[in-house]
Amino acid sequence: MSFKIQENVAVLLCFFKGKEFIEEQVDSIIKQSHKNVSLWISIDGVDDGSKALIEKKAKGWKNGKVHFLSGPGKGFAENFLSLLCNEDIKADYYSFSDQDDIWERDKLSRALDYLKSVPPGVPAIYGSRATLINKFGKKLGESKFFKKKPSFENALVQNISAGNTMVLNQVSRNLIKEHFKNNKIFFHDWLSYLVVSAVGGKIFYDSYTSLQYRQHGGNLMGENINFFSRLRRLKLLINGTFQEWNDINIECLEKISDIMTEKNKKCFELFKNSRNKSTIQRLVGFWKAGVYRQTFFENVSLFIACMLKRI
């Protein structure tokens, strides 16, 4: 009798002073219905005693193995990038993981059901909605369901899937590893969306909530779930932070301009070249590029940022 070996998923978990919630997260990874998992934990800074808790929780884990690494000490995004580009990590698929969430049991198997349908050689990303919980695990609601299709035009001005929901196929991982190892970035998930969509890869945004996403003071971004969080993001647009993010994203995209699809290359050039023109020329350039965000409020914010030359 022969048994089919399941594809290996490397779970890339970046850790920084997360002792309070780490056991719940690791437990939810161990209990995944997909049974071939390697858990790679990059600790940024001094271990706060979490390593011992993780080792105890994973003791006797038959379907996976835990590996500990030291992070680069440059923030969460570059910590995730260091894991994704680590030559020692070899798998069929790669899943980002935060330190304080709780995964649904079928998170990985559902992602792989989609990713295995993608033709060989095509970069692809699975992402999804999430159930939002507070520090104590109480449900707050669900993340937005974005109805407009994922695309490069959207990725230029917005990331729609939180990194903790993302699973990448090997082609996507290799694409990022080849071009962006040791790069300065602000968001590993946004970079992934940008790069894979730019070269004509497949992006799937699942309406299913694949995890419980904890919202608390330690979240650097959190979810856009109420009026005040929307105002905070509008402030980021107006005060120039969004513009700074775009500066770095454009630097990254220029590295792969030669492998973009022709349509996306034209869109990128229009977007890039319109940013520093007059107000009317900016508006016309962005309109021709076709960039858009997912909701009416977000597009209003984008228009305001464009008027103020903050893109």
Statement: 9-223 belongs to CATH 3.90.550.10: yes
Q: Where in the chain is the domain with CATH 3.90.550.10?
A: 9-223
Do 79 and 44 touch, CB atoms closer than 8 A?
yes
pLDDT in tens, the chain (311 residues): 344 678 999 999 999 888 899 999 999 999 999 999 999 999 998 888 889 999 999 998 988 899 999 999 999 999 999 999 999 999 999 999 999 999 999 999 999 999 999 999 999 999 999 999 999 999 999 999 999 999 999 999 999 999 999 999 999 999 999 999 888 999 999 999 999 999 999 999 999 999 999 997 655 455 555 555 666 776 777 777 889 999 999 999 999 999 999 999 999 999 999 999 999 999 999 999 999 999 998 999 889 899 999 98
Supply the pLDDT for residue 2: 40
Supply the pLDDT for residue 218: 54
